[in-house]
Amino acid sequence: MGEILTPDICIIGAGSGGLSVAAIAAAFGVSVVLIEKGKMGGDCLNYGCVPSKALFAAAKSADVIRHSSRFGLHVPDPVVDFQKVHDYVHSVIGAIAPNDSVERFTSMGVHVIEGAAKFVNPRIVEVNGTRIRARRFVVATGSSAAVPPIKGLQDVPFLTNETLFERTEAPDHLIIIGGGPIGMEMAQAHRRLGAQVTVVEAFKALAHDDPELTEIVIDKLRQDGITIREKVKIARVEKAGSGIAVVLEAGDEEEVITGSHLLVAAGRKPNVEGLGLKDARIRFDRAIKVSKGLRTSNRRVYAIGDVAGSLQFTHMANYHAGLVIRAILFRLPIKENRHIIPWATYTDPELAHVGLAEEQARKKHRGIKVLRWPYAENDRAQTESKTNGLIKVVVSKRGKILGASIVGYQAGEMINMWSLAISQKMKIGAIAGYIAPYPTVTEISKRAAVTNLSGAARNKWVQRIIHFMRRFN
């Protein structure tokens, strides 16, 4: 029998959630074993959030150059060196990687083991012949790209987020299956870097956000030259010379879209394979089943982040990490609250949301108000030539903030205020009353909040009070 370790906490998965649990627990002097079979930092650092935003930053720079004439600047169109774009993306990963490295976590006192972990029974995990018998386990294995059951897909080469950022040459024509955030971000990035792009989506693109706002994003992507096909069914995928053909059903006929490369961005699947969950008596189907307190059917085991079937965001995994630390170290009751989780899609314009959307709010509450303010009415947006967008804030009759959605320049930054407001159960008057520096884009939030008071000016009782008070010096 190999070595047996007996830490307080054993964490499986060194992505964002697992690293957060490890770092916090180690800071409190708790013994921790951290297991990772792939790269430290997980999907977000190596294949997701970081490389995609770095690629998009390069694409934004190219777009700024192309449209600089609006500011009176006349420069040649940019020449894209895709090899150097690739190098930049990986330099960003390299700059962040030390924060998530084996060396850093070892220096914290965390025992890091590189290998594939598997439960052998409800109380023991095995990796590389070493057995870990911990007081508590945290499964944080994340998710990976889902491959839809499309005829012929397995017979052709295709990209996922795990291989996309290894390319050193721009695709001539990139076909993307999937119109979610990943698909739309990568569509716009590659288009601005010189590729022809076609997006194929079985339902509605960006379907999880407010349709009024998503339409603004989709219109802009089409203006950029991206072909977006929504509500279509793929009959099959096949080779077409040196490229790829995606065949769509079109009534009794077929439509063929031919491209040089294919990116599959059709959602994600939780990483549950090979973990020995049945041996651990942990219930699962597509994802691990957890209570509202993130506990599995095995009381010694918690599951956090994507593998628990939650909202698939890095910050969601970090939120889960904080919750389970409270439960494990301090025995405090915890309960996940998805209502306070914001999200953002980093297209141009950006799209961000927190809380209830307008349609959801109308189903759950009576007498809601929808407060709006357009970017075109913001002075800073005018100076930056970023006037495409708006904010929608949903409030109750009593002024409770129920949700906020923003489409436009820096929407991902602006949603932070509304995330705080909803998590702290603030009323709209608090936003209306704060002082924003002038000129800033965040004034849009304040102006939307102030519109909640517009009805007061027409209220006959308010008018009578004002009329009465005018009698006094």
- Across the chain, what does the average pLDDT equal? 95
Given a contact cutoff of 8 angstroms between Cβ atoms, the answer to whether 33 and 151 are in contact is no
The 3-state DSSP class for residue 84 equals helix
| In the predicted structure, residue 125 carries a pLDDT above the cut 70 | yes
| In the predicted structure, residue 123 carries a pLDDT above the cut 80 | yes
| In the predicted structure, residue 418 carries a pLDDT above the cut 70 | yes
Task: Describe the strand order of the beta sheet including 227-230 as a list of residue ranges.
Answer: 227-230, 196-201, 173-177, 261-264
Determine the pLDDT at residue 252: 81
| In the predicted structure, residue 299 carries a pLDDT above the cut 90 | yes
- Percent residues over pLDDT 90 in the chain: 93
DSSP 423: H
Indicate the pTM of the whole model.
0.94
Q: What is the arithmetic mean of pLDDT over 2-18?
A: 95
| In the predicted structure, residue 411 carries a pLDDT above the cut 90 | yes
Q: What is the arithmetic mean of pLDDT over 38-57?
A: 97
Determine the pLDDT at residue 282: 98
Give residue for tokens 């074993």: 33
Q: What is the arithmetic mean of pLDDT over 351-372?
A: 95
Indicate the Cα dihedral angle 24, 25, 27, 33, nearest 10°: -120
Q: Which residue has the higher pLDDT, 465 or 327?
A: 327
Residue 167 host element (H or E) = none
Cα–Cα dist 137/295, whole Å? 10
Determine the pLDDT at residue 1: 56
Residue 229 host element (H or E) = strand 227-230
Cis peptide before 439 (omega within 30 of 0): yes
Determine the pLDDT at residue 130: 97
| In the predicted structure, residue 396 carries a pLDDT above the cut 70 | yes
Report residue 471 as tokens.
């009698």
Given a contact cutoff of 8 angstroms between Cβ atoms, the answer to whether 367 and 444 are in contact is no
Range of lowest pLDDT (44-48, 363-367, 409-413, 440-444): 363-367
Q: Where do the domains of the chain lie, and which CATH numbers do they carry?
A: 4-145+269-338 (3.50.50.60), 153-266 (3.50.50.60), 349-458 (3.30.390.30)
Given a contact cutoff of 8 angstroms between Cβ atoms, the answer to whether 210 and 218 are in contact is no
| In the predicted structure, residue 422 carries a pLDDT above the cut 70 | yes
Determine the pLDDT at residue 204: 96
pLDDT, tens digit, 9 for 90 and up, residues 303-338: 999 999 989 999 999 999 999 999 999 999 999 999
| In the predicted structure, residue 461 carries a pLDDT above the cut 70 | no
Contacts of 222 (CB under 8 A, 6+ apart): 228
* Of the candidates 191, 229, 232, the residue with the CA atom closest to the CA atom of residue 347: 191
Determine the pLDDT at residue 39: 97
